């Protein structure tokens, strides 16, 4: 089977392991985008530590789960989002306005929608987690 989106596979793997009550999960293959997405999740306390394992192929990541994640997913295609449209997207994707995070790729790097709003920059939407 051909992998269409490495990020979608990784987030689905994390979500399924979290639903099963696992303590850690192995993600392969790895990419820079996955690592940045996981850093956003880690900053907000949704996952614990994660470790990159270089196997001289595409790499693996071992993620420690803390049991706080309800759902995470990818938005495909990566729609353009302007600063003034954040509220509309948050309303569509997240269960409430003060709960959960949208992850965007911006000219300043990959960050959550709150950081992007503070830096007053738009970008393309990668996914969400809550």
List, for residues 69-123, the tens digit of each pLDDT value: 999 999 999 999 999 999 999 999 999 988 999 999 999 999 999 999 999 999 9
What does the pLDDT read at residue 2?
A: 76
Does the pLDDT at position 35 exceed 90?
Answer: yes
What b/e sequence results for 35-66 when a residue is b if at least 16 CB atoms lie within 10 Å of its CB, and e otherwise? bbbbebbbeeebbeebeeeeeeeebebebebe
Give the torsion through C-alpha atoms of 2, 128, 126, 34, to 10 deg. Answer: -60
What does the pLDDT read at residue 1?
A: 64
What does the pLDDT read at residue 103?
A: 97
What does the pLDDT read at residue 97?
A: 85
């Amino acid at each position: 089977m051909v992998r269409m989106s490495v990020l979608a596979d990784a987030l689905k793997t994390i979500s399924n392991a979290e639903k099963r009550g696992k303590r850690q999960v192995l993600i392969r293959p790895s990419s820079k985008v996955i690592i940045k997405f996981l850093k956003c999740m880690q900053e907000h306390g949704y996952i614990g530590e994660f470790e990159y394992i270089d196997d001289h192929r595409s790499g693996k990541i071992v993620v420690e789960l803390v049991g706080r994640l309800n759902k995470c997913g990818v938005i495909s295609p990566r729609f353009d989002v302007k600063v003034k449209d954040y509220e509309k997207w948050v309303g569509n994707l997240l269960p409430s306005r003060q709960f959960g995070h949208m992850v965007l790729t911006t000219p300043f790097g990959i960050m959550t929608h709150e950081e992007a709003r503070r830096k007053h920059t738009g970008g393309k939407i990668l996914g969400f987690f809550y």
